[in-house]
A and B are shown apart, each in its own frame.
Chain A
Amino acid sequence: MAKSSEAQHPQKVFGWAAKDTSGILSPFHFSRRENGDEDVSIKILYCGVCHSDLHSCRNEWGNAHYPLVPGHEIVGTVTKIGSNVKKFKVGDRVGVGVMVGSCKSCEYCKQDLENYCPKHILTYNSIDNDGTRTYGGYADMIVVDQNFVVHFPDGLPSDAGAPLLCAGITVYSPMKYYGMTEPGKHLGIVGLGGLGHVAVRIAKAFGLKVTVISSSPRKESEAINRLGADAFLVSNDAGKMKGAIGTMDFIIDTVSAVHALAPLLSLLKANGKLITLGLPNKPLELPIFPLVLGRKLVGGSDIGGMKETQEMLDFCAKHNITADVEVIRMDEINTAMDRLAKSDVKYRFVIDVGSSLSQL
């Protein structure tokens, strides 16, 4: 059972937490551990609002423990470093993403794949090494093991760069793992939200031809003119979908609701790969004939390791890739969550924690 962290930890922290399955967030006083030898303490400037935060707050995955402080797209400045910390100094601009710990000894950790470590610790709603519950970035500060902190490159703005720490790595990692970095190949991106819009930009930087597949025709102009996609397919336009059959080398599917895979599989060429990143709460229907007859595959991916997360940030800085964000105050978070549930955001809310989170 998690210890009561307020009683055990010395550093006083102020944030906003969900207190029950309504998911409504409100001010919450709690505490964090003392900065240890391996730790970095960070004053939080911005925190992105990820759809996972919404799923967690409302207990949609059935594993929420309240009070729950979400937030895993955190950008801030270093205020304190432990005696073993060599990579960071006070004043550095840094980021923290979806993980804050792992076992460091398994085959996955040794290959920089901490995200696949069976014992990896999530930034929030998880149990830390000392048995206490982890609290995320909707708060004024955080203490994190140096191995789970990344440098925030100079060229990247803190607000528009924050979403890269989850959305960015979530699409970058499968693009590398599944071999989508060969210029000229054709990638379809399903869903134009937080993940999808960043995927378009990263894919274009890899030299891919990009088609956005969406159920919202009104997103076409944005997709092509602002994000740089080469083409746009309305997924419920049967004629257009038919015309695109067998044209794509890869598809990245960012949709988290239950949806049909058969039409997407048909868009793939033979030997094509469909990578699904969403976590619907029911299984998807997988038709087997197209997989067998076309040697197609459906694969998953879950964020990325720490080394790759740093690599992704550096890549984005080099190519001027950021998220399109709507910056909000902390006290606007509940309205933002409701809008997020209706996909009413272009394309990520980011909380200006530094300016708007104040003690009452």
Chain B
Amino acid sequence: MVAKLPEKEHPKQSFGWAARDQSGVLSPFKFSRRATGEKDVSFKVLYCGMCHSDIHMVKNEWGSSTYPLVPGHEIVGVVTEVGSKVEKFKVGDKVGVGCMVGSCHSCDNCTNNLENYCPQMILTYGAKYYDGTTTYGGYSDNMVADEHFIVRIPDNLPLDATAPLLCAGITVYSPLKYYGLDKPGLHVGVVGLGGLGHMAVKFAKAMGAKVTVISTSPNKQQEAIERLGADSFLVSRDQDQMQVAMGTMDGIIDTVSAMHPLLPLLGLLKSHGKLILVGAPEKPLELPAFPLLMGRKMVGGSCIGGMKETQEMVDFAAKHGITSDIEVIPIDYVNTAIERMLKADVRYRFVIDIGNTIK
């Protein structure tokens, strides 16, 4: 049986931009989405953040991509329709969808609000939905998602600057809580000042931490301290600075996904300190056992967060006035934006103005 054309697969017309092949170049794409099911929420997409994962996926860097691929998992908009069994949302509500649109709802992880660790978790784009069709992400004019995976955006948050919270925000908020780095007075290091890193600085400061940014770029120091509120800045290539800071940090959130040495970072930790990786280098890193044992230190990972925690994070952001630092772009700038992201030339997230530029 021939697979249906994307446009004809489902009853609701959608229009977005998709990558067609491993070049990762995006172009206009007509497709369709399912009708609003009894537990679904449909919304008009107003903004979608551009995450570095979108680049990995459009270029098939993880080897799992199928084309056409509509990326985007930092999606915000306004509800247009709700299914008959939807209780939490109504037409007109400001909502968002992050990295997941489905999970099994029965395993230990799902039962504990950890849908992100469910072995059957369904990604917002590039994955197979329950009905066997491919999921399409937020670089498009509309979105349908199960109520369980919809997040309410509080009124006082600007939609465009809130979109990146749905991936970058939760990706750093979740480990700050899980690994106990959310207590006032702790000293938290943040490695890398990009999409994830700048959010980590803001959240950690709001949680009462002293924050040190660790970066290879000395030119980010002024921004880090004056704009983002970091307390200090360490240039990681400066041996003297690193030496002085040894044994001073309770935890480090490492957002760097390129290969880099762990030993100097372990050295920055106090005993019982925690090095948390949220960026994932493709190849293994060297782990020296001695500092791990002698200081009872740990190296852990984290991947986004569950739905309950994502809502909690958005509410926390609303309470503390935390949003992402963004550059809003029209959809037809998206390929240029990707080029600039590859050179880390953005402070600190591109957000596509879908509402005004995808028609």
| Residue ranges of A at the interface with B (Cβ–Cβ < 8 Å) | 108, 116, 177, 246, 261-262, 269-271, 276-280, 283-302
Cβ distance A306 to chain B, nearest Cβ, rounded Å:
16
Please state if A270 and B298 are interface contacts (CB–CB under 8 Å). Answer: no
A286 adjacent to B287 (CB under 8 Å): yes
Which residues of B277-324 are within 8 A (CB) of A? 277-282, 284-303
The chain B residue with its CB closest to the CB of A289 is B280
Add 17 more A-B contacts to A276-B293, A284-B288, A295-B302 (CB < 8 A). Answer: A108-B271, A116-B272, A116-B295, A177-B296, A270-B117, A271-B117, A283-B289, A285-B284, A285-B287, A286-B284, A292-B301, A293-B301, A295-B301, A299-B299, A300-B291, A300-B293, A301-B293
Q: A290's closest neighbor in chain B, by CB?
A: B301
Nearest CB of chain A from residue B277's CB, rounded to whole Å: 6
30 examples of A-B residue contacts, CB within 8 angstroms: A116-B271, A116-B296, A246-B119, A270-B117, A278-B289, A283-B263, A283-B288, A284-B287, A284-B288, A284-B289, A285-B284, A285-B286, A286-B286, A288-B279, A288-B301, A289-B280, A289-B282, A292-B277, A292-B280, A292-B301, A293-B301, A293-B303, A294-B301, A296-B300, A297-B299, A298-B300, A300-B292, A300-B293, A301-B296, A302-B296
CB of B135 within 8 Å of the partner chain = no
B109 to chain A, nearest CB (A): 6
Q: How far is the CA of A261 from the CA of B286 in the complex (A)?
A: 11
Dominant SS among interface residues on chain A: mixed
Closest A residue, CB atoms, query B118: A270
Query: Which 9 residue pairs spanning A and B have beta carbons closest together?
Result: A291-B301, A297-B300, A300-B292, A299-B298, A292-B301, A300-B293, A270-B117, A283-B286, A286-B287
Which chain A residue lies CB-closest to B62? A289
Among A116, A292, A297, the one with the most B-chain Cβ atoms within 10 Å of its Cβ is: A292
With a CB–CB cut-off of 8 A, which chain B residues contact A278?
289
Q: How far is the CA of A315 from the CA of B326 in the complex (A)?
A: 57
Residues of A within 8 A of B291 (CB): 300
Docked pose: A270 CA to B278 CA in angstroms: 15
* Per-residue A-contact encoding for B254-286, CB less than 8 Å = 1, 0 else: 000000001100000001100001111110111
Q: In the complex, which residues of chain A have a beta carbon less than 8 angstroms from the beta carbon of B117? A: 270-271, 294-295
A288 touches B285 (CB 8 A): yes
A276 to B286, CA, bound (A): 14
Which residue of chain B lies nearest to A61 when distances are taken between CB atoms in the complex? Answer: B290
Q: How far is the CB of A167 from chain B (nearest CB, A)?
A: 15
Say whether A279 contacts B289, CB under 8 Å: yes
Answer whether residue B114 sits at the interface, using C-beta atoms and an 8 A cutoff.
yes
Closest to B298 in A: A299
Contact B287 A299, beta carbon cutoff 8 Å: no
Known contacts A270-B109, A295-B301; A286 and B292 CB within 8 A of each other = no
A300 with B303: CB separation less than 8 A:
no
* Inter-subunit contact A262/B295 (CB<8 Å): no
Known contacts A108-B271, A288-B277, A288-B281; decide if A295 and B289 are in contact (CB<8 Å). no
Complex interface bits, B26-59 against A, C-beta within 8 A gives 1, otherwise 0: 0000000000000000000000000000000000
A261 to B285, CA, bound (A): 11
Q: Separation in Å of the B226 CB from the closest CB of chain A?
A: 31
Across the two chains, which residue of chain A brings its CB closest to B282? A289
